[in-house]
Amino acid sequence: MENLRQGTGGKTSASLSKDQKASNGPGGAQFNAHRTAQAKTLSQPTSVSSPKTVSSPAQSHVARVKMSGGSAVGGPNTKDVKQMLLDWCRVKTEPYEGVNIQNFSSSWADGLAFCALVHRFFPEGFEYCTLNPYDRKSNFEKAFKTAERLADCPPLLDVDDLMRMREPDWKCVYTYIQEFYRCLVEKGLVKTKKKMP
């Protein structure tokens, strides 16, 4: 993102080579002084009260996403989205034995929560009642392979990595669940509220 703020491909005039400075033509020194001032101005944190018009789509994305309040303009706060997704997971897996989702880390450690969530939408994928909470590896593999095969959800989590951890990293689980949810929406298995103009 720093590259986008500077607008010089990650280089300030101090790091440009002599050839690049010379290629700027007769006004090269003026151009470089302008670039240095621009880089200093853009790298300083500022509070933004409204989105500003910027020239590239990437810069536009940065302007929309990073606002003074920490949330995207016109969208819900990240904390709210995280909590809504956690609540959704809790509701969808509530009837499943051995699953009690309280967070995006320890609640997913034995793989049963992943299996329950996938089984809720694809009961034909496997028999939930045959799962063993002590066979974490098998649970992870079953959930991720079924989600990939039936929901077209990419395998963002590596089973071997999960096996090395006592509890999975909440950010990894959260990202995977977001992607699984997105795949369900694409397949029409989850209805979302239409955005108001």
Burial group, residue 43, by CB count within 10 angstroms (0-12, 13-18, 19+): exposed
| Separation of alpha carbons 161 and 90, rounded Å | 24
Mean pLDDT of the chain: 74
Using an 8 Å Cβ cutoff, are 28 and 22 in contact?
yes
Q: What is the pLDDT of residues 7-65, one digit of tens each?
A: 444 444 444 444 444 444 444 444 444 444 444 444 444 443 334 344 444 443 333 33
CA 26 to chain centre: 46
User: Could you tell me the two tokens for 17?
Assistant: 């080579």
Quick one: average pLDDT of 159-166? 96
> What local confidence, expressed as pLDDT, does residue 27 receive?
45
- The Cα angle at residue 151 between residues 147 and 156, in degrees rounded to 5: 50
| Separation of alpha carbons 108 and 172, rounded Å | 11
CA 45 to chain centre: 24
Confidence of residue 196 (pLDDT cuts 50, 70, 90): low
DSSP state of 105: S
Question: Whose CA is closest to 142, among 115, 113, 176?
Answer: 115
Whether the per-residue pLDDT at 121 is higher than 50: the answer is yes
Question: Whose CA is closest to 44, among 74, 13, 5, 81?
Answer: 5
Q: Is the pTM of this model over 0.95?
A: no
The percentage of the chain sitting over the pLDDT mark of 90, rounded to a whole number, equals 56
| Separation of alpha carbons 100 and 108, rounded Å | 9
Q: What is the pLDDT of residues 86-100, one digit of tens each?
A: 999 999 999 999 999
